[in-house]
């Protein structure tokens, strides 16, 4: 973590936006936009686990998908190993995809029910010319073994496996291409409690063994605390805080991070945490509040929060927070109401 600043980031996301048009009427006129991801910037360094946390609809999954170009971004830049993902041509994109893979939340829908798991893994290995013939079979079985399954499982269909085993298959499929970045989109939340820790351990083992970098997307703050080195907190399509894990969990700066962390139930019945209970619900991303998106629920909301969008800025301690409490708006240069483009550093 400490050396992270000197290293080149593996992935650099700058001012990423993904707006989904809202269409109404017979002629499908666009009447508005759901700003699923709104001006998000962060970077991930080689070998680290960067987590995006937030509640449903905060845009964390969409961020992961736009990075992989599974959905096209509305604006912004994604630089992966020095290469602009959105400038890549068809062939180049294909090659890039080999290097960045995704693990899905629901292992039940992530595997084609009509293909044996061996066939599914061999198919993608073949597409990328990793191996042919017997070697292909062997490599596919090998990657299954790496993920804690057995070689003969290759000839089985997905329905013959339990949820945890399927998730191992999904991980094996991602690993088959020998990627350097894996986007893990809620990889354990569909699994039984007793299985979750198996998968977490597997992911950590694989990270050590293959020097993987993870973008770990989750709503489960305790799992994130275990897995991640740095954490980005998202709210209504915006990053509100980015910090090292320890700093964030010990002393969250943004009021939303504070509330989110205090909302986690404590698994010790004798301890009661001082809790910030937020009022109201998450506003609809189709109609986000003006100014700071969190001001409708923020216990410290000031007048300025209603009109001026706070920017994600570096604090003295090297963390990044988007909050007028931390960076009073007087320090702004230029017109405070415009969404200025800004480098994270």
Partner 1 sequence: METNEIPGTGAQSHGYEEAEIPAVDLEDEEVSTGTVAAGRRRGVSEWHQVGKHLLRNRGAVIGLIIIGIFVIGAVFAPLLATHNPIQNNLTMRLQGPSSTHWLGTDALGRDLFSRMLYGSRISLNIGLISVAIGVAVGVPIGAISGFYGGKLDIFTQRIIDIMIAFPGILLAIIVVTVLGVGVQNVMIATGIASVPIYARLVRGSVLAAKEQSYVEAARAAGLGDASIVFRHILPNCLAPIIVQSTFQIATSILWAAGLGFLGLGAQAPMPEWGAILSDGRAYIRTAHHLTTYPGLAILFMVLGFNLLGDGLRDALDPRSRGN
Partner 2 sequence: MLSIREAGVTEILEATMSELLQVRNLEMSYYTNGGRVRAVDDVSFDVKPGEVVGIVGESGCGKTAVSLSILRLLPSPPAKIEGGEILFEGQDLVRLSGERLRRIRGDDIAMIFQEPMTSLNPVYTIGNQLIEAIRLHQQLEGKAVRNRAIEMLKLVGIPRADEVIDEYPHRFSGGMRQRAMIAMALSCDPKLLIADEPTTALDVTIQAQILELMRDLKERLHTAIIFITHDLSVIAEMADRVLVMYAGKIVEQGSVVDLFHDPQHPYTQGLIGSRPSMDVERKRLEFIPGSVPNPLHMPGGCPFHPRCPHAMQICRREMPGETQGENEHGVRCWLHLDKSDDQARPLRAAVGAAEE
Positions touching partner 1 (CB under 8 A) are 28, 65, 68, 70, 93-95, 97-98, 101-102, 104-106, 109-116, 118-120, 123-124, 127-128, 134, 137, 140-141, 148-152, 154-157, 159-160, 162, 164-165, 170, 173, 177, 195, 198, 201-202
63: contact with partner 2 by CB under 8 A: no
Interaction between residue 208 and partner 2 (CB under 8 A): no
CA distance 226 to 207: 14
User: Which of 88, 119, 131, 195 is in the footprint of partner 2 by CB under 8 A?
Assistant: 195
Q: Where are the alpha helices (DSSP H) in 115-251?
A: 117-127, 133-146, 163-175, 193-210, 221-227, 245-250
Query: 106 is in the binding site of which of partner 2, partner 1, none (Cβ under 5 to 8 A by kind)?
Result: partner 1
**Closest to 229 in 3D by CA, of 207, 259, 255, 262:** 207
Query: What is the distance between the alpha carbons of residues 12 and 289, in angstroms, rounded to a whole number?
Result: 28
Q: How many residues bind partner 2 (CB under 8 A)?
A: 40
- Residue 63 or 296: which CB sits closer to partner 1? 63
Please name the residues in contact with 330: beta carbons below 8 A apart, sequence gap of 6 or more: none
Contacts of 36-40 with CB under 8 Å at 24 or more apart are 36/62, 36/237, 36/285, 37/62, 37/63, 37/66, 37/73, 37/237, 38/236, 38/237, 38/238, 38/288, 39/15, 39/76, 39/238, 39/339, 40/13, 40/15, 40/16, 40/76, 40/234, 40/237, 40/238, 40/239
Contacting range for partner 2; rule: CB under 8 A; set: 29-37, 118-126, 178-186, 273-281:
273-281
- Closer Cβ to partner 2, 222 or 341, answer by number: 222
Give the interface segment with partner 2, choosing from 84-92, 113-121, 187-195, 332-340 (CB under 8 A). Answer: 187-195
Which of partner 1, partner 2, none does residue 113 bind (CB under 5 to 8 Å by kind)?
A: partner 1
Interface region with partner 2, contact rule CB under 8 A, candidates 42-50, 81-89, 117-125, 186-194: 186-194
Per-residue contact flags (x/-) with partner 2 for residues 212 to 231, judged by CB under 8 A: -------x-xxx-xxx----
Quick check: 269 binds partner 2 (CB under 8 A)?
A: yes
In the range 278-337, which residues lie near partner 2 by CB under 8 A? 278, 281-282
Residue 196 interacting entry, from partner 1, partner 2, none, C-beta within 5 to 8 Å by type: partner 2
Q: Does 55 bind partner 2 (CB under 8 A)?
A: yes
Does 131 sit near partner 2 (CB under 8 A)?
no
| Position 192 contacts partner 2 (CB under 8 A) | yes
**Is residue 193 near partner 2 by the rule CB under 8 A?**
yes
Longest dimension (CA), the chain: 68
User: Under 8 Å CB-to-CB from 31, ≥6 apart: which residues?
Assistant: 22, 23, 24, 25
23-58 core/surface letters (b: 16 or more CB in 10 A; e: else): eeeeeeeeeebbbbbbbbbbbbbbbbbbbbbbeebb
């Amino acid at each position: 973590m400490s050396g992270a600043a000197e290293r080149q980031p593996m992935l650099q996301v700058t001012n990423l936006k993904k707006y989904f048009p809202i269409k109404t009427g017979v002629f499908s006129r666009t009447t508005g936009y759901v700003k699923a991801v709104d001006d998000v910037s962060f970077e991930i360094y080689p070998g680290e686990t960067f987590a995006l946390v937030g509640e449903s609809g905060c845009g964390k999954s969409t961020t992961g998908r736009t990075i992989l170009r599974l959905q096209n971004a509305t604006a912004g830049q994604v630089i992966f190993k020095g290469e602009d993902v959105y400038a890549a041509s068809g062939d180049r994109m294909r090659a890039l995809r080999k290097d960045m893979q995704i693990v899905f939340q629901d292992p039940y829908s992530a595997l084609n029910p009509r293909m044996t798991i061996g066939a599914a893994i061999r198919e993608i290995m073949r597409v990328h010319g990793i191996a042919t013939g017997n070697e292909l079979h062997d490599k596919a079985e090998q990657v299954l073994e790496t993920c804690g399954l057995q070689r003969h499982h290759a000839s089985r269909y997905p329905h013959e496996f339990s949820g945890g085993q399927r998730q191992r298959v999904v991980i094996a499929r991602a690993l088959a291409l020998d990627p350097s970045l894996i986007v893990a989109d809620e990889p354990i939340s569909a699994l039984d409690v007793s299985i979750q820790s198996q998968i977490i351990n597997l992911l950590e083992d694989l990270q050590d063994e293959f020097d993987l970098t993870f973008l770990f997307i989750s709503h489960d703050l305790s799992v994130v605390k275990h897995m991640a080195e740095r954490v980005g907190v998202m709210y209504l399509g915006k990053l509100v805080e980015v910090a090292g894990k320890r700093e964030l969990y010990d002393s969250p700066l943004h009021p939303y991070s504070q509330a989110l962390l205090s909302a986690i139930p404590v698994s010790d019945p004798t301890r009661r945490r001082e809790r910030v209970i937020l009022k109201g619900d998450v506003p609809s991303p189709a109609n986000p509040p003006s100014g700071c998106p969190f001001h409708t629920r923020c216990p410290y909301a000031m007048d300025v929060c209603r009109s001026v969008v706070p920017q994600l800025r570096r604090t003295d301690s090297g963390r990044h927070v988007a909050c007028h409490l931390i960076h009073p708006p007087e320090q702004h240069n230029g017109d405070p109401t415009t969404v200025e483009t800004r480098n994270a550093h």
